[in-house]
Amino acid sequence: MSRVALVTGANRGIGLEVARQLAARGDTVFLGARDPDAGRAAAEPLMAAGGDVRPRLLDVIDQGSIDLVAGELARGVGRLDVLINNAAIHYDTWQRAIGADPSVVLQALDTNLLGAWRCANALIPLLRASGHGRIVNVSSEAGSLASMSGGTPAYAVSKVALNGLTRMLAAQLRPYVLVNSVCPGWVATDMGGPGGRPVAEGAASVLWAADLPDNGPTGGFFRDGRPIPF
């Protein structure tokens, strides 16, 4: 049976590639984007290729837009099988922890942590209704305490917190919904910049977590299907 998936921040980069691959498999994909025009433009080629892709306005810092999508899913489908929390901002390579701009840190936390939290809270009833729900939080090794440095402080702190949220949600939702953090690696996207791995390789890590069997791991942190230190 085809699944119903929602991908946030899906109008470009890893999110778009994940949406493309899910649609190519026959899944119904709600493509979330904070810019509706960008979302429609991103979805058009996927729909032209035969995918059931539905672009939707979804700004993860706007609870109203999240609730609208959740309400549409509840009325029209009655379940959600996969939530991929991909939306993220501020890979702040220009600053260090000492002297970091607190306003940038707050913005990163609002999107990268609280955005994922808002989406999860709104959609958990539908993920439970699936019976095979999956939440994939797109994190980063920049948020690993084992290798923490003073760089990209806003981004790194937000991903540490996102990993903590993963553990808490997994503890509460097991065994009905599996929740994992995934590091896609350094990927050649607008945020990652040139020189990284192809976007399809980064997306593969995300899809691995979305495709876990019911007895798969939960509350973990993975890259390329292998655990990495929190």
Residue 188 has pLDDT above 90, yes or no: no
**pLDDT (tens digit per residue) in 57-111:** 999 999 999 999 999 999 999 999 999 999 999 999 999 999 999 999 999 999 9
Q: Is 107 exposed, middle or buried (0-12, 13-18, 19+ CB in 10 A)?
A: middle
List of residues 6+ apart from 71 with CB closer than 8 A: none
Res. 33: pLDDT tops 90 = yes
Instruction: Quote the CA–CA distance of 94 and 104 in Å, as a whole number.
Output: 11
Positions annotated as catalytic residues are 155
Tell me what pLDDT residue 198 has: 83
pLDDT range class, residue 1, cuts 50, 70, 90: confident
- Per cent of the chain over pLDDT 70 is 95
- The pTM score is 0.95
Check whether 195 has a pLDDT greater than 80.
no
Amino acid at 211: D
pLDDT at 59: 98
> CATH fold of 4-227, please?
Rossmann fold (3.40.50)
Q: Residue 227, Cβ neighbours under 10 Å: how many?
A: 11
- The verdict on whether omega for the bond into residue 175 sits within 30 degrees of 0, i.e. cis, is yes
Q: Contact, 2 vs 28, CB < 8 A?
A: yes
For residue 112, give the nearest of 164, 74, 70 by alpha carbon. 164
Band of residue 191 on the pLDDT scale cut at 50, 70, 90: low
Could you say which DSSP state residue 142 is in? G
